[in-house]
Amino acid sequence: MDSEQLAELAADACDDRKAVDIQLIRVDEVSSLADWMVIAGGQSDVQVKAIARSVEDRIEQEIQRLPLRKEGLNEGRWALLDYGELIVHVLMPEERRFYDLEAFWSHGERRPYLASSTADA
């Protein structure tokens, strides 16, 4: 599985827990930090934790990988899962506005997540 497919898998897992405004940003040409960022919103600390757990569970189940690092899961306001080539950020609205990661990574190739057609079935 390449890094773009991993980002799509993480975005699907975010969508499973009703994350809002899921964005995928390709940063491999502008940073050595990662290939992709997935940024998603949660409306409560419980939802932020559930979204992050969904990502972690889905990736572990489908490709047997665990994050290299996890941050913010106890507080639930901004969760970060670092898979090396992919970093997933799940933020509450206030944190998302304040840190504005989309603007910070604006020089990367950005695209909104489009739910798969199976979600409509």
CA separation for the pair 30, 106 (Å, rounded): 10
pLDDT at 88 over 90: yes
Would you tell me the crossing angle of helices 3-16 and 45-63 to the nearest 10 degrees?
140
Instruction: Give me the pLDDT at residue 116, please.
Output: 64
pLDDT digits 0-9 by tens, 5-27: 999 999 999 999 999 999 999 99
Per the prediction, the chain carries an average pLDDT of 92
Paired with 77 in beta bridges are none
Q: Picking from 31-35, 63-67, 83-87, which range would have the lowest pLDDT averaged per residue?
A: 31-35
**CA–CA separation, 27 and 40 (whole Å):** 16
